[in-house]
Amino acid sequence: MFRCILRSSVRYVTSLPALRHNLPLQSRMSSSSAPVAAVCQMTATPDKEANFSACKHLVEKAKDQGASMVFLPEGFDYIGSSREETLSLSESLGGNTISRYTQLARKLEIWLSLGGFHEQGHEWETDRRIYNSHVIINDKGDIMSVYRKSHLFDVELPDKGVSLKESSFTIPGPSLVSPVQTPIGKVGLGICYDLRFPELSLSLQRHGAEILTYPSAFTVATGAAHWEVLLRARAIETQCFVLAAAQVGRHHEKRSSYGHALAVDPWGEVLGDCGGEKPGMVLMEVDLEKVCKTRLNMPVQQHCRDTAFYQSLDQT
């Protein structure tokens, strides 16, 4: 089932009737030749086979509707119900899960953003810890980039019922990775909690990012308070498109996610919102002229002072 909320500037949002009728995408959109991105929302569980089936369905539908790149959320492979289960289900990049997605990308000739893969760490045999890895696969089935989440979600909010310590089983990534050239533009990679650190998004923008992506599994409490405002802030300060695939609903008895997979333009306007109840997707044209125009009309980066200026307070 697909349920998404239409905002004023979105050109096309998937819905169940649209998928049933399977109309050509260009007949429902403008005549623009801008590439199309699909931002997906799902409800992962510990059942890896069921999760793959759900993701495959989303990718196939996105391809049918004209998408050239599909964005899947953090934990697209699974969300475990305990530390032990999470670790036991993890794999290497050479394992079955990524192999199936490379085959899917090759078969459908579509790019994939796999937003948060439970990757066994380089010292897995001795320390039993994993990376939270964002994997980009091209339309030939090649792995083009792997970004390992650098900011880990260690948060205790007793009054909101949130208690997670990602670092108890996850290794922080060693570095950022350069934006990836894709059919929709240069994509800068983050994952979930990375969204709260503007230094990351600004660094990616300085290195050429035109699109930022934050695949996530936000808690209900933090999502309701901060999700949209953070995504819009990252778009406004970098003057990039921001695409944020999301987990939604109840994964198991211990965990639920906020949903509201979003597409935001460089002005900070929300173009599409998948809501907070069910799986779905939003399809949008990525018109990079909007990035250029926004940066030309308000040249924020040109107005920045040098690094020493912003560090001057630290020296007094």
Tens digit of each residue's pLDDT (9 = 90 or more) over 190-238: 999 999 999 999 999 999 999 999 999 999 999 999 999 999 999 999 9
Residue 22 and residue 61: Cα distance in Å, rounded? Answer: 9
Mean pLDDT of 285-293: 97
Using a cut of 0.95, tell me whether the model's pTM lies above it: no
pLDDT of 12: 39
Concatenate the DSSP letters of all residues of 32-54 into one string: ----EEEEEEE---S-HHHHHHH
Q: Which residue has the tokens 């059942």?
A: 47
Using an 8 Å Cβ cutoff, are 209 and 181 in contact? no
Helices (H) and strands (E) in the chain, counts: 11, 17
Residue 284 and residue 243: Cα distance in Å, rounded? Answer: 10
pLDDT of 163: 77
Mean pLDDT of 43-68: 98
Residues above pLDDT 70, as percent of the chain: 90
Per-residue pLDDT band at 168 (split at 50, 70, 90): confident
Q: CA triplet 232, 263, 196: central angle to 5 degrees?
A: 40
The letter for the amino acid at 309 is F
Active site members = 74, 149, 192
Tens digits of residue pLDDT in 90-122: 999 999 999 999 999 999 999 999 999 999 999
Q: Where are the domains of the chain?
A: 5-25+33-296
Q: How many CA atoms lie within 13 A of 250 on its CB side?
A: 3
Per-residue pLDDT band at 156 (split at 50, 70, 90): confident
Q: Is the pLDDT of residue 69 over 80?
A: yes
Q: Is the pLDDT of residue 29 over 90?
A: no
Using an 8 Å Cβ cutoff, are 284 and 273 in contact? no
Tens digits of residue pLDDT in 234-268: 999 999 999 999 999 999 988 999 999 999 999 99
- Bigger pLDDT: 316 or 231? 231
pLDDT of 27: 31
Q: Regarding the domain with residue range 5-25+33-296, which homologous superfamily does it belong to in the CATH classification? A: Carbon-nitrogen hydrolase (3.60.110.10)
Residue 252 and residue 275: Cα distance in Å, rounded? Answer: 20
What does pLDDT average to over the chain? 90
Residues above pLDDT 90, as percent of the chain: 82
